[in-house]
Amino acid sequence: MGEPIRVLQVLGTTDLGGAESRVMDLYRNMDRERVQFDFAVHTEKKGFFDEEIETMGGRIYRMPRFLVYNWYAYRKAWKLFFSEHPDYACVHGHMTSTAAIYLPQASAAGVPRTVAHARSAGVDSGIKGVLTRLLRRSLYKKTEYCLAASALAGEAVFGRYAAAQGIVHVVPNAVQLQKYEYDPDKRAEMRARLSLEGKFAVGHVGRFSPMKNHGFLLEVFRAVCDRRPESVLLLLGTGSGIQEAKQKAQALGIAERVLFLGQKGNVQDYYQAMDFFLFPSLYEGLPGTVLEAQAAGLPCLLSDTITREVGVTDLVTYKSLSDGPQAWAEEVLNTVCAGAADLENGEERWEENRRTRLPQLRRAGFDAAAQAARWMDFYEKGDPIWEKENCC
């Protein structure tokens, strides 16, 4: 067998994050004798996945950050990059804010396939968000393929016209579902490690940024504590908003009940420790963490701004943020009461119920192993991964 084809994955970083985790789940399941990934990132800092990438044979290239005023320098950097690395079979851009700059440079250098992949259904507030929308305005004309994690993400990134014309194709996220399956032994181990015996553990996984709405989440948890004083909140993630969240927890009088756990490479173990998953984001593309939580058998309460495509199982409930923290807390507690009733039918039956969602998630197309086979055909031959028979 000859050398594998190489695909360039363009991201902001190689740290733990939604897009990064999904690309890595796909990468781990690739036949790397057929398809090998390289990564172009926009940071000089070493990322969480760097060592694993290099161990699997991937190369990491560091591009300059786009700062608007350096538009020409940024485009020149990409032009030079592709002149020195012209042999990619595909450039797969997950960083869509500047994809209209780097993907045309890839095409001009002779790269056979270019992909812009929409993974978020919103933008930051202020001038940054305005600029992002401007940069994406004609993106659908500057890439061969427009893919999206959900219909909402596709419309947000590529525009209503492109979505209506069938230019945008939705492809399920690739998730290593098996590692999130409910494990009673791991649950006991993690709850002992975190001192959660006899506690009601509410959880959330996500970076501390405005879109994740941690302030509202903390208010909901405060209302839960009024009825369930034995409650504990597990927060996994890092980000610029973490200090603000800690201050909010202090102001609400719940600081001693909130565990700020940071980034974890074994996040699947922390899902086992949880009893409930809260996710009140202002917007999302298709949050992989909610898929992970369902795979772990956790009841999930989401804001109704999040796409219905992630609600694969009956574990997911949607609620409007305008209903307020008290109403959200009531929903959490009502769900918990229903779960307690199930538990009365026997612990084994309750545990088995937590294991039953994996087949549903697989049938919906989210299994990384199945996705990897289809992505390899796409990277090698351009076979349409978005067709129903190819992704579900």
Q: What is the DSSP string of 224-282?
A: HHHH-TTEEEEEE---TTHHHHHHHHHHTT-GGGEEEEE--TTHHHHHHH-SEEEE--S
Name all domains of the chain by residue range, CATH numbers in brackets.
5-174+367-391 (3.40.50.2000), 178-363 (3.40.50.2000)
In whole angstroms, give the CA distance from residue 159 to residue 138.
Answer: 9
Lowest mean pLDDT among 54-63, 80-89, 124-133, 327-336: 124-133
- Cβ neighbourhood burial of 334 (10 Å; 0-12, 13-18, 19+): exposed
Q: What are residue 276's DSSP bridge partners?
A: 202
Higher-pLDDT residue of 352, 247: 247
Could you give phi then psi for residue 188, rounded to 5 degrees? -60, -40
The pLDDT score that the predictor gives to residue 388 is 46
Mean pLDDT confidence for 328-346: 71
Instruction: Please give the share of the chain, as a percent, with pLDDT higher than 90.
Output: 81
Among 258-267, 288-297, 347-356, 380-389, name the one with the lowest average pLDDT: 347-356
pLDDT for residue 391: 46
Residues 245, 246, 252, 254, CA torsion sign = positive
Largest CA distance in the chain: 66
Structure tokens at 298: 């956790």
* CA–CA gap between residue 187 and residue 175 (Å, rounded): 21
Encoding tokens for residue 209?
Answer: 């940024």
Average pLDDT estimate for 114-120: 94
In the predicted model, is pLDDT for residue 392 greater than 60?
no
CB 13 within 8 Å of CB 42: yes
Higher pLDDT, 249 or 172: 249
Q: Which pTM was predicted?
A: 0.87
Secondary structure (3-state) at 323: helix
The pLDDT of 292-320, averaged and rounded, is 95
Per-residue confidence (pLDDT) for residue 115, from 0 to 100: 97
Q: What is the pLDDT of residue 342?
A: 47
Where does the pLDDT of residue 167 fall: very low under 50, low under 70, confident under 90, or very high at 90 and above?
very high
The mean predicted confidence, pLDDT, of the chain is 91
pLDDT at 1: 62
**Which residues is 6 bridged to in the sheet?**
36
Residue-level pLDDT at 387: 65
Give the DSSP H or E segment for 301. Answer: strand 300-303
Q: Quote the tokens at residue 217.
A: 């989440």
In 3D, which of 153, 128, 144, 14 has the Cα closest to residue 92?
144
Does 310 score more than 80 pLDDT?
Answer: yes
- Measured CA to CA, the distance from residue 331 to residue 364 in angstroms comes to 26
Strand (E) positions, 313-360?
316-319
Of 259, 279, 281, 239, nearest to 121 by C-alpha is: 281
pLDDT for 267 beyond 60: yes
17 pLDDT more than 90: no
